[in-house]
Structure 1
């Protein structure tokens, strides 16, 4: 098994859009994903398993602050370390660019994701009530701070 994480490119857009469809009740569109390719603040990565897109993640990085938008792994590929590798690549980007912290929201019922983020030293720093729809649910705000 050969897993690498690369910057998202035009050639990945269709596969990433299909991941969005498979993973989220309100998926990003192909056009929305494509717009991230030209955003000065976007840091989007695709995990390739034996050359095939298996997951992706993206964040916006502004003034030393990273805000993770999405982490998605194809359902058949979960529990293999792909999500962890993607999140680590975003954390590494933030650290290399003098980041202060990386933050994200996660459904409070998403125990596997919360376990992953906790393992990567994210800590709960807040809650957004009713943040998610389809179904309605609170979001936990998790943050990983970097010591300077």
Structure 2
């Protein structure tokens, strides 16, 4: 018997135990449970979870304001990384943003996080010259690269999830 299929769906408060486990395994300065609970109540936010059976194995979120989306976070359980879960979550965020009339999407990524940078480039994100936020990550003082995607959907193939 194989592994359960990965499903992507909107995050609910019932998912927060699994989200918090991944958050603490993934970040030096994790968001609080209250921060996620607050985000789930906002009309301008979209948060998704990836589930393998009953277990949350990844999540992603964004703010959607007018014609712009800003990715707030993407994380996959360390034991499930490298299996395309982050890519599926990002593709779903892009598709949802596009369906809401968003024309461009932005995010910040750690200078040291080359796997994430490679994923974002694969999805069509680019870095504008000089697009660095100095000391953006307060836990380490690390700089962030600002990446941008416009247009949001370039062809039908890219929009497929």
Give the shorter-chain TM-score range. over 0.9
Unaligned runs of 5+ in 2: 154-161
Equivalents in 1 of 2:32, 2:18: separation in Å?
12
Equivalents in 2 of 1:22, 1:147: separation in Å?
31
Aligned in 2, Cα 1:134/1:147: closer, same or farther, shift over 3 Å?
closer
Contact kept in structure 2, 1:95 and 1:146, CA below 8 Å = no
> Which residue number corresponds to residue 144 of structure 2?
139
- Normalising to structure 1: TM-score of the pair? 0.95
Q: CA RMSD for the aligned pairs?
A: 1.3
> 2:37 matched to 1:55?
no
Contact kept in structure 2, 1:99 and 1:146, CA below 8 Å = no
* Aligned-pair CA distance for 1:14: 1.4
> 2:88 matched to 1:97?
no
Q: Secondary structure at the match of 2:72?
A: strand
Q: Secondary structure at the match of 1:80?
A: coil
Q: Secondary structure at the match of 2:29?
A: coil
> 2:17 matched to 1:22?
no
Equivalents in 1 of 2:52, 2:122: separation in Å?
22
**Alpha-carbon displacement from aligned partner over 1:19-71 (angstroms, at most 9, x marks no partner):** 11110111111111111121011100000123321000000001011000000
Unaligned runs of 5+ in 1: none
> 2:82 matched to 1:79?
yes
Aligned residues: 148
**Alpha-carbon displacement from aligned partner over 1:56-91 (angstroms, at most 9, x marks no partner):** 000000101100000000111000000000111100
Determine which of 25, 31, 48 is the counterpart of 2:34.
31
Equivalents in 2 of 1:130, 1:37: separation in Å?
28
* Aligned-pair CA distance for 1:146: 1.6
